[in-house]
Amino acid sequence: MTERLDRARLLAGHQGIDALLVTPGADLRYLTGYAAKPLERLTCLVVTQLGSHLVVPGLERAAAEAAGVSMPIVTWSETDDPYALVAELLGSPDVVAVDDQMWASRVFALQEALPESGFVLGGELVSALRTVKEPAEVDALREAGAAIDRVHSRMGEWLRPGRTEREVGADIARAIVEEGHEQVDFVIVGSGPNGASPHHEVPDRVIGAGEPVVVDIGGTTAAGYCSDSTRNYVAGGEPDPGYIAMLAVLQRAQQVQREYARPGVTAESVDAVGRQVIADAGYGHLFIHRTGHGIGQETHEEPYIVEGNTLELEPGMAFSIEPGIYVEGQWGARIEDIVVCTEDGIEVLNDTSRDLVRL
């Protein structure tokens, strides 16, 4: 963690930032190893060119120490003003960067405590560190990918006609924990027309025989890293030939994207090569979202694989490749793998079948 803080401090200096303030969330865990709960009492990492401190409520000190926080921990009691304490640690900085997910109430309180300072967003600063994964982080993502693959490989235990999406989703959620995750982040089970909603919930719709089903699932492991994988299933019959033809196009598009992605190409170009395959087959207007998102200690983080993102891929960047086609009122399909950019291509972290899985 010390090296990460040193890099953050160096980047801040280059950007003319005098202080970086980070409250509970993925950025705090990345920089300190402490997965603090986002409660009403202020917990705040204070990073300046002179050093770092972690400000915590007195009753949270033991938790911070148990997490292995190595920097000085500064505590405050119930009758103290924690924002005045942060201001005292900072002195009179000209420019203060705050994490992008800091609560507005905290930003306003800090501005009141530091009336002479200018405030900017610090998310890009930390994102520049988090976007390129360290080898240990890639190992953690491999473990998460293998864990979610084990859940997909068990789908035949639960997904069958006559059961509701909610029932299947509950079984999947239990398996996500059983197979190596500390928490369930999301479960999407979209059967028939519900598959046309990319972020569908799990209602009491009964799954019909021969209906295609989109299953998109993910969780977070004890190491703090996320999984995310989508596959397509059918049980009890054969789907409509129109769906089969659509899925074949989607498979080609995702394969083209996997084969194309490598260091030096832009994030938007990975999106473009798959989108072109789908458009050429007449489904372009039905691919309604970006190709992918970065992943690490959050399911969605930089880099985003989307038109307009000219960022060049680098070894260590981890992201999803997940094109989809959605026909409202009929069905949908999405194929999603997590990949990590290597020196000459990508490593794919999910290896379950990308074909339609017949149960």
Residue-wise pLDDT tens digits, 7-57: 999 999 999 999 999 999 999 999 999 999 999 999 999 999 999 999 999
Both 190 and 120 in a single domain? no
Is the preceding peptide bond at 135 cis, omega within 30 degrees of 0?
Answer: no
Last residue of a domain, one of 130, 148, 180: 130
When pLDDT is averaged across residues 182-194 and rounded to a whole number, the result is: 98
Output the pLDDT for position 1: 78
Distance in angstroms (rounded) separating the CA atoms of residues 79 and 58 = 11
Both 143 and 222 in a single domain? yes
Both 116 and 187 in a single domain? no
β-bridge partners, 339:
319, 348
**Number of domains into which the chain is organized:** 2
Both 153 and 20 in a single domain? no
β-bridge partners, 76:
57
**pLDDT tens sequence across 331-340:** 999 999 999 9
Distance in angstroms (rounded) separating the CA atoms of residues 280 and 278 = 6
Domain of residue 93, residue span: 1-130
User: What CATH number does residue 59 fall under?
Assistant: 3.40.350.10
- Proportion of the chain above pLDDT 70, given as a percent: 100
Both 211 and 96 in a single domain? no
Any residues with CB less than 8 A from the CB of 262 and at least 6 apart, and which?
313, 341, 342, 344, 345, 346
- Looking from the CA of 77 toward its CB, the CA atoms found within 13 Å total 1
Both 257 and 299 in a single domain? yes
Both 88 and 195 in a single domain? no
User: What CATH number does residue 245 fall under?
Assistant: 3.90.230.10
DSSP-assigned states of every residue in 284-345:
GGG--S-SEEE-SSSSSEEEEESTT--PBP-TTBEEEE--EEEETTTEEEE-BEEEEE-SSS
> Which of 192, 144, 184, 123 is closest to 320 using CA atoms?
144
Both 155 and 105 in a single domain? no
**pLDDT tens sequence across 133-170:** 999 999 999 999 999 999 999 999 999 999 999 999 99
Both 116 and 153 in a single domain? no
Last residue of a domain, one of 130, 165, 196: 130
- Considering the entire predicted model, what is its pTM? 0.94
**pLDDT tens sequence across 72-115:** 999 999 999 999 999 999 999 999 999 999 999 999 999 999 99
Output the pLDDT for position 62: 97
Both 35 and 157 in a single domain? no
**pLDDT tens sequence across 203-258:** 999 999 999 999 999 999 999 999 999 999 999 999 999 999 999 999 999 999 99
Both 296 and 243 in a single domain? yes
Question: At 2, is the pLDDT very low, low, confident or very high (cuts 50, 70, 90)?
Answer: confident
